[in-house]
């Protein structure tokens, strides 16, 4: 039987080994005897990814028989494509982007919903005069012109009780949004609060965060993507990977200072306060009433169909009727974890 590991080696070979930016290797000392597995992030390593690194450092993947390499991404679209083509085993990707790729023929599925709700928010400085949604009237808000948040903004405007002309949208690159906000070139940013809020906190700023979910624009966030081939040929690996990642993430939520230290050992250049704030933000979108009932990482047909409809209305999914929830996700490889379960690190056992 051809495994995804074998297929990826045949497709990428030495080129992958020479060009991949490996951000984390095996946990523990000495040579690993686990199965080599790769996880590609959505972007380069940021504090919001700290729980993944902690899961490696604390031995959750080693305990599962996995020698995990965490690799930089360059956008969720490329991550999904890399999983689909067998270049990597698993990907951490935006749910909407996954659906768009599936609509274009990608043979992948979401297998572990780490973010039970999206982390989109409108973020402002504390002296901006913005405290609530009504305060956005007459303000300028920056976002990437072609990104999903810009496309979804009309839904937020309607949900918040605003009119289309109440807020002026300014196009900005992802790299310029925080500097532009600090320089007061505009009044607020549309951002993922799990990324931008911790950066501002690390600079001693307590920003105003208007979460889209609070006005009812609440959809699934990022999750773990695997190829249909991997699901068919190596289901035990998918279950083991999911279990290790989920337990490591929940442990990080329960032990943020230790998880931050694990991340900073592997990815230097960040302050403890920034990383802890990012972990807190990431953990704030993990549990929802739905997955408290179904188990961590689980999804539902209703929730997925809601996102398919959204993708058709706002994100440019050409033929939403061609996708069913069964095409998009599976809960088959999730080991249920209850919301009140206390996770112990393998390193501590």
The phi, psi pair for 128, rounded to 5°, reads -80, -15
Q: Is the pLDDT of residue 15 over 60?
A: no
DSSP-based three-state secondary structure for 56: helix
pTM exceeds 0.85, yes or no:
yes
Place of tokens 């920034």: 274
DSSP-based three-state secondary structure for 324: coil
DSSP-based three-state secondary structure for 178: helix
For 326-340, what is each residue's pLDDT tens digit? 999 999 999 989 999
Name all domains of the chain by residue range, CATH numbers in brackets.
4-116+220-348 (3.40.190.10), 120-215 (3.40.190.10)
> Residue 168: in which H helix or E strand, if any?
strand 168-171
For the stretch 212-240, what's the b/e string if a residue is b when 16 or more beta carbons lie within 10 angstroms of its beta carbon? bbebebbbbbbbbbbbebbbebbeebbbb
pLDDT at 146: 80
Please give the Cα distance from 96 to 24 (Å, whole number). Answer: 27
Kindly report which listed range (15-29, 95-109, 241-255) carries the lowest average pLDDT score. Answer: 15-29
Residues 222, 227, 231, 235: what is their CA dihedral angle, to the nearest 10 degrees?
Answer: -70
* CB 247 within 8 Å of CB 16: no
Sign of CA dihedral 148, 154, 159, 162: positive
What is the pLDDT averaged over residues 23-52?
77
Please give the Cα distance from 320 to 220 (Å, whole number). Answer: 17
44: which 2 tokens? 């380069």
For 61-104, what is each residue's pLDDT tens digit? 999 999 999 999 999 999 999 999 999 999 999 999 999 999 99
The phi, psi pair for 187, rounded to 5°, reads -95, -25
Chain centroid to CA 168: 28
DSSP-based three-state secondary structure for 127: coil
């Amino acid at each position: 039987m051809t495994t995804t590991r074998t297929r990826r080696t045949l497709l990428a070979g030495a080129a992958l080994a020479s060009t991949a930016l490996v951000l984390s290797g095996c946990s523990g000392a000495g040579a690993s005897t686990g199965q080599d597995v790769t996880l590609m992030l959505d972007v380069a390593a940021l504090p919001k990814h700290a729980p993944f690194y902690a899961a490696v450092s604390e031995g959750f993947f080693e305990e599962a028989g996995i020698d995990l390499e965490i690799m930089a991404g360059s956008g969720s679209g490329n991550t999904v494509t890399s999983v689909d083509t067998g270049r990597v085993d698993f990907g951490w990707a935006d749910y909407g982007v996954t659906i768009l790729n599936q609509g274009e023929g990608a043979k992948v599925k979401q297998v572990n919903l780490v973010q039970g709700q999206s982390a989109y928010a409108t973020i402002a400085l504390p002296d901006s005069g913005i405290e609530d949604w009504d305060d956005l009237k007459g303000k300028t808000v920056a976002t990437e012109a072609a990104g999903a948040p810009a496309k979804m903004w009309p839904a937020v405007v309607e949900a918040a009780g605003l009119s289309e002309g109440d807020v002026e949208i300014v196009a900005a690159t992802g790299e310029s949004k925080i500097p532009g906000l600090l320089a007061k070139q505009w009044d607020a940013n549309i951002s993922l609060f799990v990324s931008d809020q911790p950066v501002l906190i690390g600079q001693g700023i307590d920003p105003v965060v208007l979460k889209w979910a609070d006005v009812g624009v609440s959809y699934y966030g990022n999750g773990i993507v695997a190829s249909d081939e991997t699901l068919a040929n190596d289901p035990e690996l998918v279950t083991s990977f999911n279990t290790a990642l989920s337990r490591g993430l929940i442990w990080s939520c329960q032990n943020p200072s230790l998880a931050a230290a694990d991340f900073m050992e592997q990815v230097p250049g960040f302050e403890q306060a920034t990383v802890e704030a990012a972990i807190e933000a990431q953990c704030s979108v993990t549990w929802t009433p739905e997955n408290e009932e179904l188990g961590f990482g689980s999804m539902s047909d209703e929730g997925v169909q809601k996102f398919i409809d959204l993708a058709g209305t706002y994100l440019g999914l050409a033929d939403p009727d061609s996708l069913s929830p069964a095409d998009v996700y599976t809960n088959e490889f999730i080991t249920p974890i209850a919301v009140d379960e206390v996770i112990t690190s393998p390193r501590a056992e």
